[in-house]
Amino acid sequence: MNALVQDVDKRAPEVQGRGTTLESLKQWVDQVAALARPAAIHWCDGSDAENAALVAKMEADGTLIRLNEETNPGSWLHRSHPDDVARVEHLTFVCTSEQDDAGPNNHWMSPADGHAQMDSLFEGCMEGRTMYVIPYCMGPIDSPISRCGVEITDSPYVVANMRIMTRMGEAALQRIEREGTFVRGLHSTGELDPNRRFIMHFPEELTIKSYGSGYGGNALLGKKCHALRIASHQARQEGWLAEHMLILGIENPQGETHYVAAAFPSACGKTNLAMLIPPEGYREKGWKVWTIGDDICWMRPGPDGRLYAINPEAGFFGVAPGTSAKSNPNALATIAKNTIFTNVGVTADDGPWWEGLDDGQPVTDWRGNAYDAANGPAAHPNARFTVSAKQCPSYSEHAEDPTGVPISAIVFGGRRASLVPLVFEARDWTHGVLVGAAMGSETTAAATGAVGVMRRDPMAMKPFCGYNFADYFAHWLSFDNGRNKLPKVFHVNWFRKGDDGKFLWPGFGDNLRVLEWMIGRVEGRADAVETPIGALPREQDLDLEGVQLSGEAREKLFGFDRDGWRAELVSIGDYLREYGPRMPQALHDEQARIAASLD
């Protein structure tokens, strides 16, 4: 009998770390260990020593490659599997009891089938590996808006990234133990086989299961999986909003700051806008821009009825290609040290390189091969950097405010080469919800599939809403309850093109000119022209000093194509009807109102 007990003990995984006092968490970890059969269980505490040991382990096995310590101190390169470089929307499921609750905007599987499929993949998948238990908090550790989770993974790369992207470790575990609730995330890289790769969400159970991918959006479960798909479900139940939005503060020369939340699809300039540097003339007058967050925004009404927002993330998981001294000098300064780069090229002196950089030449591409332009770009188009938000020169200390920051304006926008003007303001909240619901954009490299195809991407949440879009729109509409003081809603299009195929608006820092007009509208002092699609500024309503715009640019950026919008409203009506009887009648009525006014 003693020999049998000793034999069992030998097979039991070694446990590293303090474990937990929360029985439900301990039981779940034990259940996962019994299923996945790891060699060891490591409870992450988020300490510097723990991180140093993990990084050393990854350097030794080639998971991380050290970059030039003089030019990029504390920075590393990770190369993912060539078939594992982006989010896999077609393999991402929402598992609700009723299929209609997931909606036509999600791939659905029943919870029983989803668990069965995933558990068969997890069976024994961590044999010989360490199982890491990552307690984390999304948002400031003491914010009532924040929510906690625990990710179990066999990837030290995921641990290192989650340490940057969340408040991870002992403080988060203590909050979890106090509250007794947490989002459960189970992840394994598996064999990195595209045919054995799934990301399953169980909103009713606050559970995520991800297998077969090491890519950030599929493996860092605090990010899109928790902070949007699961959190959107939580937010609907609890009366708040979990959105795919950047948050920035705009400080005028009088020292007054307005905060703006803006939704753009991935790789459409969220990070660039969040870290915007004002044009020289604006800087001389005293304008400043502050970065709260570049990707995700959680908002809830405060005691005064205004929406208050936090950035649930602690870091940036940004797209590297296109990031340059022209497009985003703040981002370049942010990633100069202590950064994990994924799938970028490398220069002769071991510096990171990607298309869009002004300096350096790549000698190695993102696959690790000698660089040859004939074989494609040096960096994968969706190459990434992971870095602490606190390293950003424009980072705002108010990003840590437990109460969040008050939102003055919500902005929707996507890539539209034609039709959509530079900016317009929604008539009211209902119109604003329709504007967000009808948002269209051309697809980018952030997800697998064709690039450049126009698709509806409501509120930039198409891949991320954890439940039926019709119910999601109804939830948005519910905030107009007579008590809340809701922000104004705008739509922007930085990507309008001329007949020559080139962008008509300079973008980048000059986008502040548009934001200034929005703030003027919020404060009731900026003029506009009323049109059926909303209030449009005239050229003279924006400060265009120093901006060279052609006649075509002025016409298309500030103009209104009635015939084109008639066709657009028909398309929007068709889109709303795809959701059947659950679609709020208020949005059908709003679409009909605008269509009638166009006639």
Q: How far apart are CA 518 and CA 258, in angstroms?
A: 10
Distances in Å between the alpha carbon of 98 and those of 113, 268, 465, 571? 13, 34, 16, 28
Residues 6+ apart with CB under 8 A from 469: 103, 104, 105, 437, 458, 461, 579
Residues 6+ apart with CB under 8 A from 406: 259, 302, 306, 307, 308, 309
Q: HEC profile for 134-171?
A: EEEEECCCCCCCCEEEEEEECCHHHHHHHHHHCEECHH
DSSP-assigned letter for residue 536? E
Q: How far apart are CA 96 and CA 74, in angstroms?
A: 43
pLDDT value of residue 87: 87
Please check whether the domain covering 12-63+87-239 is classified as CATH 3.40.50.2000: no
**Which residues are part of a known binding site for substrate?**
87, 215-217, 266, 382-384
pLDDT value of residue 449: 66
Residue 268 annotated to the active site: yes
Residue 92's CB: how many other CB atoms inside 10 A?
23
pTM of the model: 0.95
pLDDT value of residue 4: 34
pLDDT value of residue 451: 67
Indicate the CATH number for domain 242-315+395-598: 3.90.228.20
Of the candidates 95, 268, 297, 465, the residue annotated as catalytic is 268
- Could you state, in order of their start, the residue ranges of all structural domains in the chain? 12-63+87-239, 242-315+395-598, 317-390
**Which residues are part of a known binding site for Mn(2+)?**
224, 244, 295
Distances in Å between the alpha carbon of 238 and those of 145, 147, 200, 300, 301? 11, 12, 22, 9, 11
Q: How far apart are CA 359 and CA 561, in angstroms?
A: 42
Q: How far apart are CA 339 and CA 348, in angstroms?
A: 19
| Ramachandran angles phi, psi of 306, nearest 5° | -75, 155
Cβ burial of 364 (10 Å; 0-12, 13-18, 19+) is: buried
Matching residue, tokens 């909240």: 429
One-letter identity of residue 86: A
pLDDT tens for the chain, residues 1 to 599: 333 333 334 478 999 999 999 999 999 999 999 999 999 999 999 999 999 999 999 999 999 999 999 999 999 999 999 999 988 889 999 999 999 999 999 999 999 999 999 999 999 999 999 999 999 999 999 999 999 999 999 999 999 999 999 999 999 999 999 999 999 999 999 999 999 999 999 999 999 999 999 999 899 999 999 999 999 999 999 999 999 999 999 999 999 999 999 999 876 889 999 999 999 999 999 999 999 999 999 999 999 999 999 999 999 999 999 999 989 999 999 999 999 999 999 999 999 999 999 899 999 999 999 999 999 999 999 999 999 999 999 999 999 999 999 999 999 999 999 999 999 999 999 999 999 999 988 766 656 666 667 889 999 999 999 999 999 999 999 999 999 999 999 999 999 999 999 999 999 999 999 999 999 999 999 999 999 999 999 999 999 999 999 999 999 999 999 999 999 999 999 999 999 999 999 999 999 999 999 99
Query: Residues 305-351: pLDDT tens digits?
Result: 999 999 999 999 999 999 999 899 999 999 999 999 999 999 999 99
Cβ burial of 104 (10 Å; 0-12, 13-18, 19+) is: middle
Which segments within 189-336 are labelled E, that is strand?
Answer: 198-202, 207-211, 241-243, 245-251, 257-263, 288-293, 297-301, 307-310, 315-319
* Relative orientation angle of helices 231-238 and 469-477, to the nearest 10 degrees: 40
Helix (H) or strand (E) holding 187: strand 183-188
Q: How far apart are CA 177 and CA 271, in angstroms?
A: 34
**Which residues are part of a known binding site?**
87, 215-217, 224, 244, 266-272, 295, 382-384, 415, 508-511
pLDDT value of residue 446: 58
Q: Write out the two tokens for 578.
A: 């795809």
Distances in Å between the alpha carbon of 234 and those of 77, 177, 216, 244, 355? 35, 19, 22, 15, 39
Cβ burial of 21 (10 Å; 0-12, 13-18, 19+) is: exposed
Structural contact between residues 80 and 342, judged by C-beta atoms closer than 8 angstroms: yes
Query: Residues 477-494: pLDDT tens digits?
Result: 999 999 999 999 999 999
The CATH superfamily assigned to 317-390 is Phosphoenolpyruvate Carboxykinase, domain 2 (2.170.8.10)
Q: How far apart are CA 32 and CA 126, in angstroms?
A: 10
Helix (H) or strand (E) holding 327: none
Q: HEC profile for 188-209?
A: ECCCCCHHHCEEEEEHHHCEEE
Cβ burial of 502 (10 Å; 0-12, 13-18, 19+) is: exposed
Q: Write out the two tokens for 153.
A: 């993974």
Q: Write out the two tokens for 118.
A: 């995933």
Gyration radius of the chain's alpha carbons: 24
Sign of the C-alpha dihedral computed for residues 119, 121, 123 and 128 taken in this order:
negative
